[in-house]
Amino acid sequence: MQAREAELPTARTKERREQALAYGLASAESIRDRSIPLFNRGGARYSASGTYLGVPFLEDMRELGGQDVAVIGAPLDAGTTFRPGTRFGPQALRQISHLPSGYNFELGVDLAEQLDMVDVGDVTVIPANIEKSFDQIDKAVAYLHERAVFPVILGGDHSIGYPDVRGLAPLVDGNVGIIHFDRHSDLSEYNLDERMHGTPFFHATNIPNAPATNLVQIGIGGWTGSRAGVKVSRERRASVITMTDIDRWGLERVAEMALEIAWKNAKVVFLSFDIDSVDPAFAPGTGTPEAGGLLPREALRMLHIVTREGLAGMELVEVAPQYDVGDITSVLGVRVINDVLGTLINAGKLGRRPDATPKADPEVERQEDQVNPGGG
Ligand SMILES: [Mn+2]
């Protein structure tokens, strides 16, 4: 069989690889093997579960442009410091995203009707090299911004927060604000000598136009935080809103405050939502759970306030389906994304508002009820 292998043809594989590279574009400069594409087109790996909300999969990345939203996975968990597994986060989120219909009664939005959304699959990350992975994610995210498509980035652990901001900031003529939901401040310079998931906002706020004074962190506290990060947050005057602050001042007031801090002299604001900001009773599927976090309704209520002035993009990180129970963490992650998109639509910041949407055709509506009865 050693000899037989040499006799097997390779033409089709080569053809598929060439197409994957043409469609998926050239990888970051640090990747030596130039046959590895930037966007993962074929070797599905972590992306084999269909698209987010069943929206079209954009196979040829050269065709990106003109859409409102692109969902993109960054299946990297090389940055975890405790329980790994978030490389399967994008897959879990996509899979459970087939449960909701895209319509929300309370928000009065229908994502399928009001957004032109595509799923562009995953960034080809390099699991054995976090810096090369950052280069890939940075370049991929920048590509989406360059084509003016709103990125919804599915993590992955929180280390991707750094390349997600690094892919955005150089394209902004002004400051970038960051609204960061988390139990952890993620402001250390290094974890174990590397830039891991406890470090993204140290490095992101080193970017000249992403100052820490426009970073607002919501939900911080508990026993899994880092003292090194507190020192950085003190020195750089980042704004830390703890669970105790939220209890004391109330959701609305705290969210209004966060909005003000993030937007102060900023041109755009990026949303980084760590699923572990929500209590592990509701979000057990994560690597660094911390008891006493937000209730889902508290998180959603605050999101409705902090996103209404618009966003330049968002990431939903730290979903690790191995530790999940009945997919509840992924259900919540999808809920967070969809609520943000719905709020942006209602605020006139993304897609089309109802008055710009053609009226529903009653005949189509009846047919739709047969196909997708909802409820249950
Ligand atoms: Mn966290």
Q: What is the pLDDT of residues 17-68, one digit of tens each?
A: 888 899 999 999 999 999 999 998 765 445 545 899 988 899 999 999 999 9
Query: Are β-strands 103-104 and 109-110 bridged in parallel, bridged antiparallel, or unpaired?
Result: antiparallel
Question: What pTM was computed for the model?
Answer: 0.92
Give residue-wise pLDDT tens across range 117-141.
999 999 999 999 999 999 999 999 9
Per-residue pLDDT at 371: 47
274 CA to centre of ligand 1 in angstroms = 6
175 CA to centre of ligand 1 in angstroms = 24
220 CA to centre of ligand 1 in angstroms = 9
156 CA to centre of ligand 1 in angstroms = 12
81 CA to centre of ligand 1 in angstroms = 11
333 CA to centre of ligand 1 in angstroms = 14
339: nearest Cα among 289, 276, 277, 271: 271
183 CA to centre of ligand 1 in angstroms = 5
87 CA to centre of ligand 1 in angstroms = 16
23 CA to centre of ligand 1 in angstroms = 34
Quote the CATH superfamily of domain 37-356: Ureohydrolase domain (3.40.800.10)
Residues near 187 by beta carbon (within 8 Å), at least 6 away in sequence: 199, 201, 202, 205, 226, 228, 229, 230, 232, 233, 236, 238
For the chain, list residues with pLDDT below 70.
Answer: 42-49, 354-376
Give residue-wise pLDDT tens across range 322-353.
999 999 999 999 999 999 999 999 999 999 88
